[in-house]
Structure 1
Amino acid sequence: MGKVKIKRKSTLIDMTAMSDVTVLLLTFFMLTSTFLQKEPVTVITPASVSELKVPINNVTTVLVSPKGEIFLGVLGDADSTYSSEKVRADILQNAVTEYNKTHSKKVQLTQEQVNKFAKMNMFGMPIAQLPAFLDESQVHQDEIMQGKRPEWKIGIPVDGNQDLANPNEFQIWMRAIYNSNDNMEKTIKSGEGIAVKADADTPYDIVHTVLDNLQTLKMNKFSLLTALKTEND
């Protein structure tokens, strides 16, 4: 009796469906992911055991560099009505208006400059320098923020001022953020809207000055960003 021949089946696998699913998943994660903000300086935060997470919407990050330079980063809401760019544009205009009330040399901004500022995730320099800074190219702006252009002063000016009738520039910015919209006001009042991020080697007196300014503004609730402690810490 002859052997029964088993019909060989093709080993070819149609990958079309899998490729479609891969592209769909990749698109989904790209559209729903929150990308890290570009920061002008590298900050190594101190370690702690806290596992509380800072919200990703309606939050202001106060970045304190090891040299004591102050930078601010503002994120708005996912809703287009209070998107990050719209919130930043309102904050800038409010801050400049407040600044001009107490300074003889007025700052004037064009709409193009306002639009450029609205796209900045993090900023930090004297308000008087903003118009010239915003006229620079993106490459030059990055160099300035990273301290590679010594002719530019970086960092938001801050001191121990407690006279809110004549606020320093850090206080001007924080009040402008608070007054920008109801969502920002609500998160700041709850203590979730302000996150202070300082380097582990930043002198304490500099950080204390920042916290003292927040308390002067009656912003007594805020978070301190830290890295999670490991077993070796």
Structure 2
Amino acid sequence: MGKVKIKRKSTLIDMTAMSDVTVLLLTFFMLTSTFLQKEPVTVLTPSSVSELKVPTANLAQVLISPEGKVFISIAGEADPNVADGEWGSEPIRKEILTKAVSEYNKLHPNKKVELTEADANAFSKINMFGVPFQALPTFLRMSQTDQDKVISDMSRSDVGIPIDDNKDLTKPNEFQIWMRAIYSSGNDNLQSAMKKGEGIAVKADQSTPYSTVHHVLDNLQTLKMNRFSLMTALKTEQD
């Protein structure tokens, strides 16, 4: 008896539906994800068991590098359409810059900082900044590539917001000027968040000198900003 031949079937699989699903999922995650903002230095935060999340809107974040350099990041309303975008991140950064420079110039009439509208627009697009007031004009007129190179060089003396243990608020240091300008920006939601301790977050590397961290915390307390968050990484079983 002859062998019965089994009819071969095609192994071709139509992947059209799978491709459609993949594209839809990719689009969904891209639109709903919160992307990490660029920071001038990589910071390895200490670990803890806290699972509380730091808000991404109406927040002033203070970053302290391992070298002891201080930077500030400002985020406005999460919804750019709130109040016609009045207090989105870019408008509020411009307002804070105006207030901070104005106070600095009053305190230092012989070393006034002169900024143009183009400088203010450039500042509004910077997520995290950290240069002395005197270096602001030069820094803001650089290309973004050059700004990134400058602010990531921790060996430069013109990188990092100057800070000390000043207690005399009639002669505030530059860090205190910035924090007061942020508090009085005019955004009631940001001010309310700062009062509750939800609007200020301090992020430091686990190897950052304690003296610099102490200066930051002490300055906040001098400004009566006694409630703030310390950003940490979630502790693992290995820790």
Q: Please, what TM-score do these two structures have when normalized by structure 2?
A: 0.88
- 2:135 maps to which of 121, 129, 133: 129
Give aligned pairs, total. Answer: 229
CA distance in 1, matches of 2:26, 2:147: 32
Partners of 1:232 and 1:23 in 2: CA distance: 37
| Residue equivalent to 2:34 | 34
Q: Are the counterparts in 2 of residues 46 and 226 from structure 1 also a CA contact under 8 Å?
A: yes
Task: Give the deviation of 1:23 after TM superposition.
Answer: 2.3
Equivalent in the alignment of 1:141: 147
Question: What are the equivalent positions in structure 2 for 1:148-227 lying under 5 Å apart?
Answer: 150=156, 153-180=158-185, 181-227=187-233
**CA contact 2:67–2:154 (8 Å) conserved in 1:** no
User: Using the alignment, how far apart are the partners of 1:214 and 1:202 within structure 2?
Assistant: 18
CA distance in 2, matches of 1:10, 1:95: 72
* Distance (Å, rounded) in 2 between the aligned partners of 1:215 and 1:149: 29
Aligned partner of 2:125 among 95, 119, 126: 119
**Residues 18-27 or 162-171, more deviating:** 18-27
- Structure 1, unaligned stretches of length 5 or more? 1-5
Conservation of the 8 A alpha-carbon contact between 2:113 and 2:134: yes
Deviation for aligned residue 1:167: 1.1
CA distance in 1, matches of 2:100, 2:212: 23
Is contact 1:125-1:156 (8 Å) kept? yes
1:16 paired residue number: 16
**Percent identity between the two aligned chains:** 66
Q: Is the 8 A contact 1:143 1:149 kept in 2?
A: no
Return the alpha-carbon distance in structure 2 between the equivalents of residues 155 and 167 of structure 1: 16
The alignment partner of 1:72 has SS state of strand
What do the CA deviations read for 1:110-166 (whole angstroms, capped 9, x no partner)?
Answer: 11111111111111010111111011111211111111774x511001111112122
Deviation readout 1:3-30 (Å, 9 max, x if unpaired):
xxx9987665444344333323322322
What is aligned with 2:108? 103
Aligned Cα root-mean-square deviation (Å):
2.1
Q: CA deviation at 1:200?
A: 1.0
Give the corresponding residue for 2:43: 43
**1:3 corresponds to:** none
Q: Relative to structure 1, is the Cα distance of residues 204 and 149 closer, same or farther in structure 2, using a 3 angstrom cutoff?
A: closer
Residues in 1 aligned to 2:35 and 2:189: alpha-carbon distance in whole angstroms: 22
- Equivalent AA in structure 2 for residue 163 of structure 1: D
Instruction: Give secondary structure in 2 for the equivalent of 1:28.
Output: helix
